[in-house]
Every structure is written in C-alpha cells, then in structure tokens.
Amino acid sequence: MSDPEPCRITDEDTEEQTDLIGESEESEDDELLKAEKTPHLQTEDTLMERDKHRLTCSQCGKSLASKKSLNEHMMIHTGEKPFTCTQCGKSFRHSSSLYKHLKIHTGKKNHRCDQCSKTFLRASGLKLHLRTHTKEKPHSCSECGKSFTEKSYLRLHQKIHTGAKEYMCFECGKTFITAEHLKQHQRIHTKEKPYKCSHCDKRFSQLAYLKSHERIHTEEKPFTCTQCGKSFRHSSSLKEHMRIHTGEKPYKCSYCDERFSQLACLKSHKRIHTGEKPFTCTQCGKSYRLSTSLRKHMMIHTAGKPFTCTQCGTSFRLSSHLNKHMRIHTGEKPSTCTQCGTSFRLSDSLKEHMLIHTGEKTHRCDQCGKAFLRASALKLHLRTHSKEKPYSCFECGKSFTQPASLRSHQKIHTGVKEYVCFECEKTFITARRLKEHQRIHTGEKPYTCTQCGKSFRLSSCLNEHRRIHTGEKPYTCTHCGTSFRHSSSLYKHMKIHTGEKQHT
C-alpha cells in the first residue's frame, strides 16, 4: 500500500494553525530560557542523583524527568489525542492546546491585516501572516540555505537532513518526520475522511485535498502565470505550465531518450515502447494507451455523430474532428515544419514529419535491413515479407495490410469522393489523390532524379524512371523468365502466354 504524499506546510495555512504553532513555539522557548536563567544552586552530586531517576522513551531514546512527562511524550508515537473540542471535534494531546483552540470558536478577531483585511485572534498570528505579503523568510537552514517564515517550519525541515523519523505507525511500522504526517498516514488504515465538501458531500482524508477540490465548485484559480497571465487551481499545475515558457523537460524516457515536461506525458509515451494498453472498453473489449482515446471510443457505443460537414455530408462524433476535416475542403495547412517548410493539416502529422529531421531510425527489419522511426511502422513493413493482409473488405473480399488502406478502398463501393479540386471541381476518394492531381494545375514536380535531373509529379513515376539508370527489372514472367521494368509491361506480356488478344 503506498501512502499519499503528505500535506506540505505552506504560507496559506489557516490562522488557527499558525497561532497555535506560534504559541507552542513561544512556550517551548520560554521554558528553555527559564531553565538557562535558573541559578545553579544544586550541587553536582544532586544533579547526578536526579539523572539516575530520569525515564527514557523506548521508541526514540529521549530522556524525560517524570512519568507524567513520559506518558505525554508517548502520545507523539501512539498518536493518542485525548482532549477533544466539543464544537468541531478536533483533538489534541494537551489540555492547554485545546484551551487555546477553543478561542477560535469564542474569541473575537481584533487584529486585521491592512493588506488583505484578513483578521486574527492574536497579534502574533497577524505578524506571521504579514510575511506572506512581504515575502520575508527570516529563518534559514544552515545545511542547504532554504528559508522559512516560521521557526517551527525550519525545525521540521531540518529533520530531512538529520534523517530523524520519530513518529511510527503501529499498523505497518512506517516512520514519519512529523506527527501531522503520521496522523495523515493513519487514515489509510482507519479509512477516515474527516473533511467533507460543503458543495457535493465528497469526503477527503486531508484538508489540502478538500481545499483543492472545492476550487472546482468555486472556480477559483489562485495560481497565475507571470508570463502569460493564465491561472490555475493548483500550484502543481502552474509549475507544469511554467515549463512551456522555460522549455524545461525534466522527465526522460529510458527507452529512446525523448524528454517531457510532464510525468504523465512520459508515462503515456512509455506505453509506445511497452505496448501496454491499460484502458479497456467494457462494451467491446478494445484497449487503448490513453484514457482520452477510450473516452472518444465510448461515444461509438453511447452516442451518434452529431457534427456534419456541409460540404460532403460526412458526420463526426466530435466538433474538433469536424474542424480538422474542413481543412480538406479549404486546403488549410496551419502546421508548418521549420526545417523544410512542408505544411500539414494536422499537428500530429507535423510531429511525425519532424522525426525525419531529428529522429534516429532504431527499428530495423531483420529480413531486409530497412530501418524505421517507429515500431508500428516496422510492424506494417513486416507484412510485405509475410504477405499478411489482415484487413478485408466486406463488399468484395479484397485484403489490405493497413486499416487506412481498407478505409480508402471502401470509398470505391460507397462512391464517396469528399476531396474536391477547387480549380476544376474534380473529386477524389483520398486527400493524397487530390494533392497529386493539384500538381497538374500548379505544374509542381517535387520528385527529381539524382542521375539526370529529370523531375516528376509522382514518386511512383520517379521510382520507375530510376530503373532506366539502374537497369533493374523487378517484374518477371513465371512462364518464360523474361523481366520487365514496369508491371504494366509484364501484364501485356502475359497475354502472349494466355492467348488473350490485346485489341478486339
């Protein structure tokens, strides 16, 4: 069982806690000063005799003067708090602490902050609070230099350096630096959730969790970015957001050295390498790497496709999908590569393209040696060797290596040609065919032969042309062994053997 992260003490703690910490601090310091100022009237023999009667704590080794002091001290380890407030149910180890706490319910708050108008029971509470405005942190750690607004916070912090964890859980043996952390941990065993939301009745084991939750209802976003003004409900969210401005990416993938600004992004990314798909649809059993992918998938089972394209009638489950689809008709490509200027309709397509410039091809085919940027690409490539075509058309039975190829093929049967050329209004089944067609109007020939400089509209035309230089003839007749540069030439040749007449 893993423990939740302990609540961290912040400058925004309630003033009641601040007052109590301040007073307990002062009382401890006063006792020490009194002890130091007491005249040394006792002889050395008397002191030695008194030391013999001191009692030692079996848990942490601390020495105490009386049985009463030892019993009170043992409450630190046991977590016992016998003094309970009748107003709010809060418990305390000492009756004096309860007495001070009761002033929260009965006392008038006469001390007001002139900066934010917050009121306090005591002047000491106001004094500590003012440091949240002045940013004053007068108490510094001698080990690491970290500063704090209160002496008690410094003492807690110093235990990190000493390693002292004197508060032990008797259920599981785990130890903690502070009694508060032990108390929070014990709620794991007791299942206690004392903090209840006044808006929705949800309960929490820690006050900090309740405060964070309540901001959902109040829509309060107290943490604001100084760079762009964006606000957040949680300080952790602001910290993650700031990495957008700083460019910091502290989380590194152990598989491929890619770095991320958020731990959640790293965890999602690692599933690409491990193949883990922890989010499973309860309706059809299909699994996904991301929870967002599962949520989108669930709409297949729970809802229709309410967003329809006015150009071609295609419907979508999400408005964002429709917006992306509309770029097919408008030709908009807002995502541009800074390396080579190539533009893309989708940001995901740009990300994949960028790997051409920056990514190492670590996934190599053991059959032909060809390397790929992604494991998924290698998996698809291997089907060219195995001849596996797992995706079949229900209409005509034709099979394909990729689901995208099947989807494109199925449009032949439906007759849907949603990609329109705005020059001549000719329509096409796929965006790729439209793009290739548009080069007729633009005259663009992006594929150039490195041998003779001749350019072509299509990559397939360039590949065929190269065979003139290489002499390659990959298409061989199974009857007589004659080879050809083009599949069309082989097709025509085969009619000699079959007796089929080319022209009737």
Q: What is the DSSP string of 165-223?
A: --EE-TTT--EESSHHHHHHHHHHHH----EE-TTT--EESSHHHHHHHHHHHH----E
Asked whether the beta carbons of 365 and 371 are under 8 A apart, the reply is yes
| Distance spanning both ends of the chain, measured CA to CA | 81
Which residue, 132, 117, 104, is CA-closest to 16?
Answer: 104
Whole-angstrom distance, CA of residue 410 vs CA of residue 397: 11
Asked whether the beta carbons of 428 and 421 are under 8 A apart, the reply is yes
Whole-angstrom distance, CA of residue 65 vs CA of residue 53: 7
Confidence (pLDDT) at 352: 77
Q: Which two tokens stand for residue 241?
A: 């957001």
Q: In this structure, are strands 259-260 and 251-252 parallel, antiparallel, or unpaired?
A: antiparallel
| DSSP element (H, E) containing 447 | strand 447-448
Q: What is the pLDDT of residues 287-311, one digit of tens each?
A: 888 888 887 777 777 666 778 888 8
- pTM value surpassing 0.75: no
What residue ranges of the chain have pLDDT lower than 70?
1-52, 107, 302-304, 359, 501-504
Q: Which residue has the tokens 């419907």?
A: 315
Confidence (pLDDT) at 482: 92
Whole-angstrom distance, CA of residue 32 vs CA of residue 26: 10
Q: Which two tokens stand for residue 378?
A: 């290698």
CATH number attached to the domain at 231-301: 3.30.160.60
Helix, strand, coil share (%) of the chain residues, nearest 5: 45, 15, 45
Q: Which residue has the tokens 């959902």?
A: 216
Is residue 129 exposed (0-12), middle (13-18) or buried (19+ Cβ within 10 Å)?
Answer: buried
Which residue, 137, 132, 136, is CA-closest to 154?
Answer: 137
Asked whether the beta carbons of 232 and 220 are under 8 A apart, the reply is no
| DSSP element (H, E) containing 119 | strand 119-120
Whole-angstrom distance, CA of residue 293 vs CA of residue 291: 5
Q: What is the pLDDT of residues 355-394, one digit of tens each?
A: 777 767 778 899 888 888 778 888 888 888 888 888 888 8
Residue type, 413: H
Whole-angstrom distance, CA of residue 433 vs CA of residue 95: 83
> Helix, strand or coil for residue 424?
coil
Confidence (pLDDT) at 407: 82
Number of Cβ within 10 Å of residue 93's Cβ equals 19
Q: Which two tokens stand for residue 459?
A: 């990559």
Q: Which two tokens stand for residue 215?
A: 């901001």
